[in-house]
A and B are shown apart, each in its own frame.
Chain A
Amino acid sequence: MVQARWKSVSYGAWLFLLSSGAALCLSVIDYLFAAGINHTGGVVLVIVSTAALLLAALLAIAFALAPWLRGLLNVGIFLGLLGTGFAAYLLEAPWLLVLMVVALAAWVSQLVRGTHREVRFVGHHAQPGAMS
């Protein structure tokens, strides 16, 4: 069950993890080099928020969290994605914005797909052997 669940979250979550990591790298590069916004507080904020998203992604993937904690994490991730995306929009950092959109899509897809697989697992448990 645990192994199956890991697989069920993996597709979207890995993409979410990847895009959050890329966003963190990009925001660090922007802080150092991006004309107009380098060395600004706004980019520092985005570095912090993308780092938080990355951490949240790792938490979600690596640990089987209690439902209430997972719910809380999902709300946090959702707000973090929206906030970081809005910050990227105001910073006029289009690639950062694109990564946030990808991360959001990945996370939503993971949520939706994850729920469906859980339902499917119930059926599988009723028919032992279907996991092989």
Chain B
Amino acid sequence: MTNRLRFALVVAMSLPAATGLAQDQDWYTFNGDLKAQKYSTATQITPQNVQHLKAAWTTHTGDVSDGSEGKPVSDWSATPLFVNDTVYVGTPFYRIFAIEPDTGKVKWTYDTKAVLKAVTQPDLKTRGVAYWQAADVEAGQACQKIVYMGTMDAKLHAVDADTGKLCPGFAQGGILDLNQWNTTNNKWPLSILQPPTVYKDTLFIGWAGKDWAESFAPPGRVFAVDARTGALKWTFDALPPAYAANTGTANVWASMSVDPETGILYLPVSSPSPNYYGGDRKEQLPLATSITALDADTGKVVWSRQLVHHDIWDYDTNSAPVLVDIDKDGKTIPALVQSSKQGFLYVLDRRTGEPIYPIEETPVPQSVVAGDQAAPTQPYVAVPPPVVDAEWPGISKLADIASLGYCSRKFHELRYDGKFTPPSLEGSLTYPATVGGTEWGGGAVDPTTQTYVVNSSSTVQLYQLIKRDEYNDITRNGTPDGYYPQTGGPYGFHIETFLNPLGMPCWNPPYGTLSSYDLKTGKLLWKEPFGEVQKWGFYMPHSWGSVTIGAPLITQSGLIFIGASMDSRVRAIDLKTGKVLWQSIVDAPAVAMPATYSYKGKQYVVFVAGGNAILTPKVSDEIVAFALPAAS
């Protein structure tokens, strides 16, 4: 046995101990595991029997708001966790549900009693809970296993996973107030909408803010705290301290990944504020809109790679890098794959950040807005092929005719010079727009075949900067939809999706696709329109696809499970061909990532159907677990 093989075996055997978990068919993190692979070794449900899949149980939490009863609309993107023989879900009312995995019966609930107001984000939003357990669980002792739930008002609650009672040894009586560390440009609380990433005995906590509101905002700090006590271990700042007061954010609002073999933490770092004007932050901010690798023990930067220079498009790095080893040119390379709003897939050596497939600096259109200066080049990736085309899809004849030429006329008023066209005073056509490309779910990978699958959207939006005086005039009697102040800077901002007056997209479909790539070669294996647009109940042609939010999971049996589309359907797809093998309707778009687990010999696939106002007003509080009937 070679040293290398021996090392690999030791690492593989020690992995459950490192995380304190049996990994096989649990789903113990937001992304399924620490590497964010969204992959399960479960094989009970196969392409041959998946058509027999039925709802095994359905649970309604009661935590849903359509915005009509004084509460903001709910936006539920929580991945259900399965661990400790329990399904744990966090709700958009910031409650935790512990559920029996085979019946759907509620074991216990915990209420954070969070303020149900749009303190930062416009919706009541959460992406769920995190789980930690001690490496050596002491029987009869409370809080050896903890579920964590964050709130929009910056509180992180630690709750015993067996009883649902607060863990008094964690922070102040079981509640950590992240806002105690919010000391620079503290315009709003640091909303914990994304569950912390848990590695060994440490929680890594990012946060979300109030988009597009302030030019000078809280700087994007990541906090590492002790999982038992909530004590601060270290912090990481993506912005140089000297500039932090003149900008802000560059925060980590999405999930993170960890390589348990090296102890490196991978951060998707977002763009700095203000999002659409960079005149007040012309300095080099190399860690903004980047993938940054940190030593998980110390918080020191191991490497960083900026994905967008001088970001003025809100192209946040928005999902956990997916860690996978790639066999290429006779070598096994520890790699990561980063999907992006801008549509590129960055495949890097995760030890160094160096590209495995080339990244080329390419000249891009320049800004003519007074005070700003766009970066002369941006990093472009040709392999793997981007999830969206290089050029915008062009005017939809149907939408144009239906609106008596509105789309064409509007297009001719806009600035469009290709990808990375900067925001402008006359209005710029932006493709892909801030909703992607690929959103916060990112992709999934089958590590055995090194097949990477990712859903994406093809969206076109119009970005317009508005001089401060003019903006003040427009918003004097209230702020119309789509207007954002970027307070403190010289420009307000208007954003709208490029629709005709009838609400039809002015650009050609498909609006969403699902793509599969061979990471060994970087080649596209297949790309299919995904989901269906649904308006007033009418389903549009399948070839149009749907804008997608959420992400797929892959099982070893060769299936992809995914919700994500606006038609409220959940689907099983053949990993080899991309063909839909099974689908079922749920109460609202299942924009959360699904989870799969095995319990008492049965495999379940569980979807949270919560909805997201970006797709459709339809919302729900439904959790559905599907399984094969006993005879199948």
Q: Which residues of A contact B (CB under 8 A)?
A: 35-37, 40-43, 45, 87, 90-92
* B560-576 CB contacts (< 8 Å) to partner A: 567-569
Cβ of B62 within 8 Å of any chain A Cβ, yes or no, is: no
Closest 9 CB pairs of A and B: A40-B537, A42-B537, A41-B536, A90-B538, A35-B585, A37-B537, A36-B585, A42-B536, A42-B538
Per the bound structure, the CA–CA distance linking A36 and B565 in Å amounts to 12
Question: In this assembly, does B7 line the interface, its C-beta being within 8 Å of a C-beta of chain A?
Answer: no
- B residues with a Cβ closer than 8 A to A are 534-540, 567-569, 585
CB closest residue in chain A, given B569:
A36
Residue among B535, B537, B567 with max Cβ neighbours from chain A (10 Å): B537
- What are 10 A-B pairs at a CB distance below 8 A? A35-B585, A36-B534, A40-B537, A42-B537, A43-B537, A45-B536, A90-B539, A90-B540, A91-B537, A91-B539
Residue of B538, B540, B567 most packed against chain A (CB within 10 A)? B538
CB distance from A48 to the nearest CB of B (A): 13
Further contacts, 13 of them, CB under 8 A, given A43-B537, A90-B539? A35-B585, A36-B534, A36-B537, A36-B567, A36-B585, A40-B536, A41-B536, A42-B536, A42-B538, A90-B538, A90-B540, A91-B537, A91-B538
**Residues of chain B contacted by A90 (CB below 8 angstroms):** 538-540
Q: Once the chains are docked, how many angstroms separate the CA of A36 from the CA of B538?
A: 10
Given contacts A35-B585, A36-B585, contact A87 B569 (CB under 8 A): no
Q: In the assembly, what is the distance between CA of A92 and CA of B537, in Å?
A: 9
Rounded to whole angstroms, the CA-CA distance of A37 and B585 in the bound complex is 10
Nearest chain B CB to A3 CB, angstrom units = 44
- Is A92 a contact of B539 with CB atoms below 8 Å? yes
Is A36 a contact of B568 with CB atoms below 8 Å?
yes
Tell me how many residue pairs across A and B have CB atoms closer than 8 Å.
Answer: 26
Chain B residues with CB below 8 A from A92, complex form: 539
- Closest partner residue, chain B, to A40 (CB atom): B537
CA distance A45 to B535 in the complex (A): 13
Complex Cα distance A42/B540, Å?
12
Chain B residues with CB under 8 Å of A36's CB are: 534, 537, 567-569, 585
Residues of B within 8 A of A40 (CB): 536-537
Distance, CA A41 to CA B186, complexed state (A) = 44
CA separation between A41 and B503, bound complex, in Å?
A: 15
B538 x A87 contact (CB < 8 A):
yes
Bound-state Cα–Cα, A35 to B568, Å = 9
On chain A, the residues within 8 Å of B535 by CB distance are 42
B278 to chain A, nearest CB (A): 43
Residues of A within 8 A of B585 (CB): 35-36
Q: Which residues of B contact A37 (CB under 8 A)?
A: 537
Distance to closest chain A CB from B626 (angstroms): 14
Q: How far is the CA of A123 from the CA of B558 in the complex (A)?
A: 72
**CA of A91 to CA of B540, assembled, Å:** 9
User: Shortest beta-carbon distance, A39 to chain B, in Å?
Assistant: 8
CA distance A113 to B331 in the complex (A): 78
Kindly report which residue of chain B lies nearest to residue A43, judged by CB atoms: B537
Contacts of A91 in B (CB 8 A): 537-539
Give bound CA distance, A42 to B537, whole Å: 5
Once bound together, how far apart are the Cα atoms of A41 and B569, in whole Å?
Answer: 19
Residues in A with CB closer than 8 Å to B540 are: 90
In the complex, what residue of chain A is closest to B532 when comparing beta carbons?
A92
Closest Cβ of chain B to A60, distance in Å, is 29
The minimal Cβ–Cβ distance linking A17 to chain B, given in whole angstroms, is 26
Assembled-state Cα–Cα distance A8/B292 (Å): 81
- A36–B540 CA distance with the chains assembled, in angstroms: 13
Smallest CB gap from A39: residue in B: B537
Residue of B nearest to A42 (CB): B537
**Least CB distance, A92 to chain B, in whole angstroms:** 5
Per the bound structure, the CA–CA distance linking A36 and B537 in Å amounts to 7
Q: Which residue of A lies closest to B568 (CB)?
A: A36
Max count, chain B CB within 10 A of own CB: residue among A36, A37, A43 = A36
**A36 to B160 alpha-carbon distance, docked (Å):** 38
Chain A minimum-CB-distance residue to B587: A35
In the bound assembly, the distance between CA atoms of A37 and B537 in angstroms comes to 5
Q: Give the shortest distance, in Å, between A51 (CB) and chain B (any CB).
A: 17
Give the complex CA separation of A92 and B585 in angstroms.
Answer: 12
Could you say which residues of chain B place their CB within 8 Å of the CB of A43?
537
User: Among B537, B539, B567, B568, which residue has its beta carbon within 8 angstroms of that of A41?
Assistant: B537
Please, which residues of chain A bring their CB within 8 A of the CB of B536?
A: 40-42, 45
> CA A66 – CA B537 in complex, angstroms?
39
Inside 8 A of B539's CB, which chain A residues have their CB?
90-92
Write the chain B residue with the least CB distance to A37: B537
Chain A residues contacting B537 (CB-CB under 8 Å) are 36-37, 40-43, 91
How far is B403's CA from A61's CA once the two chains are assembled, in angstroms? 41
Distance in angstroms from B609 CB to nearest chain A CB is 11
Residues of A within 8 A of B568 (CB): 36
- Chain A CB within 10 Å, residue with most, of B534, B536, B569: B536
Q: How far is the CB of A16 from chain B (nearest CB, A)?
A: 25
Assembled-state Cα–Cα distance A60/B568 (Å) = 41
B567: A residues at CB distance < 8 A? 36
